[in-house]
């Protein structure tokens, strides 16, 4: 897997200001405002920074939290997890393993079969519907 590396100026030229804030500055969108939180169309969710396939629609579920939620990544090699101790709490951050974009966080309160909830910002993804 070849890493995608760009300068801050290159990322700013490619991404909207909101996408840059979320993916490069580890921001978050407000709940129930993202473009995919309630999407039910079949397809693949890709990284907005590099196009890497991240999540499939058949792993998406309504967690009631206002962000797109998935119980597993499409390919575990495409995402990376790191400890996040910001905001006075301990969480597990989820990043694109190809371009290091901040995607969201993963929690241990999801449905079977994994028991995980990948809580992902819509601004960190694009959506490719099934043909």
Residues 6+ apart with CB under 8 A from 80: 94, 95, 96, 97, 100
For residue 80, what is the enclosing H or E element? Answer: strand 79-84
Edge-first strand order for the sheet with 117-120 is: 60-61, 69-70, 117-120, 102-107, 91-96, 79-84
CB of 60 closer than 8 Å to CB of 35: no
Residues belonging to the active site: 119
Q: Is 96 annotated as a binding residue?
A: yes
Q: Is 50 annotated as a binding residue?
A: yes
Take residue 72 and report the two structure tokens written for it: 């597993």
CB of 101 closer than 8 Å to CB of 48: yes
Binding-site residues for Zn(2+), in ranges, read 47, 50, 96, 99
Binding-site residues, in ranges, read 47, 50, 96, 99
């Amino acid at each position: 897997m070849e890493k995608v590396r760009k300068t801050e100026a290159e990322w700013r030229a490619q991404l909207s200001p909101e996408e840059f804030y979320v993916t490069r500055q580890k921001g978050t969108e407000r709940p129930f405002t993202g473009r995919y939180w309630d999407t039910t169309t079949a397809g693949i969710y890709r990284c907005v920074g590099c196009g890497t396939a991240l999540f499939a629609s058949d792993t998406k579920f309504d967690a009631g939290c206002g962000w797109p939620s998935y119980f597993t990544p499409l390919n575990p090699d495409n995402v990376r997890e790191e400890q996040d101790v910001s905001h006075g709490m301990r969480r597990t951050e989820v990043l694109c393993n190809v371009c290091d974009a901040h995607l969201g966080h993963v929690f241990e309160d999801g449905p079977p079969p994994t028991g995980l909830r990948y809580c992902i910002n819509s601004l960190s993804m694009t959506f490719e519907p099934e043909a």
